[in-house]
């Protein structure tokens, strides 16, 4: 547990129901995208401007097949996630949990960000635009809880 007070007040939404009733959404920071449907993250610009990181996000159907998974992230060895998406976005594990009746449901779309947000990091676009957009999309699918996996 905490050994010191955080710098800012921590927001808190109590779990509304037991997990068996909750609809889940998934978010990764692994730079994943659906090949052939959405473009990769803009790593070409990052190569030219190393202090900048792409703040946008991609939508990933939770029924995605492994061969549709693309990864654009210049700060990680992406070989392992290219062979198994579940180490960063556990779509198949969550489908299994839903089938076992351990949770109420899984949203059809998950969302992927690319964790490198520049140096020094600038998260303004996440806070002002993309975070709220993803929140609204989750709400429109009836999501109650979100499982986040930074890379």
Partner 1 sequence: MNVPVLARTLERAGLSTILVTNMPYWAEKVGVPRTLAVEFPFGHTLGQPRDISQQMRVIREALDVLENAQAPGAIVHSGEVWPIPQDKAIQSWQPEKPSPIIEHLAPRFREMLRQRRRPVT
Which residues form the interface with partner 1 (CB under 8 A)? 1-4, 6-16, 18-19, 22, 25, 27, 29-30, 46-47, 50-51, 73-78, 80-81, 83-84, 86-88, 90, 93-94, 96-97, 103, 113, 115-117, 119, 121, 123, 126-127, 131-132, 134-135, 138-139, 143-151
Q: How many Å apart are CA 147 and CA 151, to the nearest integer?
A: 13
Cβ 143 to partner 1 shortest distance, Å: 6
DSSP string for 100-136? TTSSSEE-SEEEEEBS--TTTT--HHIIIIIHHHHHH
Cβ-based nearer residue to partner 1, 19 or 37: 19
Cβ-based nearer residue to partner 1, 37 or 93: 93
Q: Estimate to the nearest angstrom the gap between the alpha carbon of 52 and the chain centroid.
A: 20
Tell me the two tokens of residue 60: 């990933």
């Amino acid at each position: 547990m905490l050994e010191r007070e955080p710098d800012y007040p921590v927001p808190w939404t109590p779990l509304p129901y037991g997990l068996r009733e909750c609809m889940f959404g998934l978010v990764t920071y692994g730079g994943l995208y659906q090949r052939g449907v959405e473009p990769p993250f803009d790593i070409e610009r990052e190569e030219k401007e190393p202090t900048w990181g792409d703040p946008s996000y991609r939508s990933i159907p939770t029924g995605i097949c492994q061969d549709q998974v693309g990864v654009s992230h210049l700060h990680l060895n992406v070989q392992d996630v290219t062979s198994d998406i579940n180490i960063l976005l556990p779509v198949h594990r969550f489908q299994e949990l839903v089938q076992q009746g351990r949770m109420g449901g899984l949203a059809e779309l998950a969302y992927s960000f690319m964790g490198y947000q520049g140096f020094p990091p600038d998260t303004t676009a996440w806070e002002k635009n993309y975070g709220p957009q993803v929140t609204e999309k989750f709400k429109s699918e009836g999501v109650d809880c979100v499982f986040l996996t930074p890379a």
